Each structure stands twice: as structure tokens, then as C-alpha cells.
Amino acid sequence: MTGKAHDRIVVESQRVGQPAREGEIREIIQASYGTRYRVAWDDGHESTFRPTAGSARIVPAAKVATTRK
């Protein structure tokens, strides 16, 4: 699944007991070696992120808006 701007991305922790990292996708960066996302993380930081298979899930912006009502 590929994300779009304003979708949420959730990255599960690799350590037991640590919470998942969540943020909003701001930009999609296409490259010959794969897709990267510019993400504004909920902790206030911003970075580019290239998820590996199974490391992240994307929650479409439409679902986020529906669950917040």
C-alpha cells in the first residue's frame, strides 16, 4: 500500500513495551530505489522515512477523519 499526503503512518516498535511511532505524511518522494515519505511525527519532529516490508501501516486520511468525529 502506498500513502498519500495527509494519511497517517504507524510504525510499530521493535522493542517490547515501547509504543508505536505515529505521524502524518506530508510528502511522497519517488526514487529509483523506492518510495520515501516526509513525515511530521506526533512528537514534533520531521524526517524522511522509507518503510521496509511489514514495518509500517498507513491509515488513509478519510478513515482518520471518520474516527475523530
pLDDT in tens, 5-35: 999 999 988 888 888 899 999 999 998 988 8
More confident residue, 65 or 4: 4
Residue 53: per-residue pLDDT = 77
d(CA 69, CA 63): 10
Sign of the CA dihedral 54, 59, 60, 63? positive
Complete domains list, the chain, with CATH: 8-67 (2.30.30)
Contact assessment for residue 7 and residue 58, using Cβ atoms and an 8 Å cutoff? yes
Rounded to an integer, the average pLDDT of 41-48 is 96
pLDDT above 60 (res 68): no
pLDDT above 60 (res 69): no
